[in-house]
């Protein structure tokens, strides 16, 4: 066993010495290869980071936003929700994990009572970075939470599970979130 270790060490030393000799013999080529290698690694890293965002956006568009129950439910573009909340003067937002029992219940009620809705509201799906979003907005990620923001600040909220008889009281509660000329502010 010790002879095998000695042979491996000697081989590695020989390879290392040959590599060092090759670098010193061709300094310009070696520097060029290192620079090209760094550029390729940097380019691939940038490509991977941007593709990850695009893949996530496409997944949300295809899996979640295609099945929204009403046109009054406006989807956020992926990774743009926080910016839109802070930019709008007045905005109502539904925070929910897709395909959870409470979310499915809310979607069904919204679909069935679409004509009773008196406002548009945004949907912020809790898919990626759920814990960060939950911490930012003080949410329980497994609950359907509606929050009304005015100038980026929370003004009112309710959770679907806190409503008695949601089939009858959910849409009126959503319609009661503070409103001050939201339709004019949505443009």
Q: What is the pLDDT of residue 119?
A: 80
Q: Which residues face 73 on adjacent strands?
A: 121
Task: Please state, as a whole number, how many other Cβ atoms lie within 10 Å of the Cβ of residue 145.
Answer: 23
**Joined tokens for residue 55:** 């893949």
Q: What is the pLDDT of residue 42?
A: 92
Domain-wise residue ranges, the chain: 2-63, 70-185
User: Is there a contact between 124 and 81 (Cβ–Cβ < 8 Å)?
Assistant: yes
Name residues whose C-beta falls within 8 Å of residue 90's C-beta, 6 or more positions apart in sequence: 148, 149, 150, 151, 178, 179, 180, 181, 182, 185
CATH class of 70-185: alpha beta
Report pLDDT digits (tens) over 37-86. Answer: 899 999 888 888 777 766 666 666 656 666 777 888 888 776 788 888 88
Report pLDDT digits (tens) over 86-102. Answer: 888 888 899 988 888 99
Residue with tokens 């060029």: 32
Report pLDDT digits (tens) over 151-174. Answer: 889 888 889 988 888 888 888 888
pTM: 0.65
**Joined tokens for residue 40:** 């390729």
The whole-number average pLDDT for the span 2-31 is 74
């Amino acid at each position: 066993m010790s002879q095998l270790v000695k042979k491996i060490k000697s081989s590695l030393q020989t390879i290392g010495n040959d590599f060092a000799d090759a670098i010193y013999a061709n300094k310009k080529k070696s520097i060029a290869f290192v620079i090209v290698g760094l550029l390729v690694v940097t380019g691939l890293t940038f490509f991977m980071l941007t593709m990850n965002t695009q893949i996530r956006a496409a997944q949300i568009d295809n899996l979640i936003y295609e099945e929204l129950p009403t046109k009054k439910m406006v989807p956020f573009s992926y990774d743009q929700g926080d910016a839109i909340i802070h930019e709008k003067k007045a905005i109502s937002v539904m925070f929910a994990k897709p395909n959870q029992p409470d979310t499915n219940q809310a979607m069904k009620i919204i679909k069935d009572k679409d004509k009773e809705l008196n406002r548009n509201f945004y949907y912020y799906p809790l898919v990626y970075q759920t814990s960060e979003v939950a911490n930012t907005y003080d949410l329980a990620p497994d609950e359907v939470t509606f929050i009304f923001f005015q100038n980026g600040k929370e003004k009112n909220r309710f959770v679907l599970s806190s409503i008695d008889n949601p089939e009858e009281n959910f849409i009126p509660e959503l319609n009661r979130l503070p409103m001050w000329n939201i339709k004019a502010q949505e443009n």
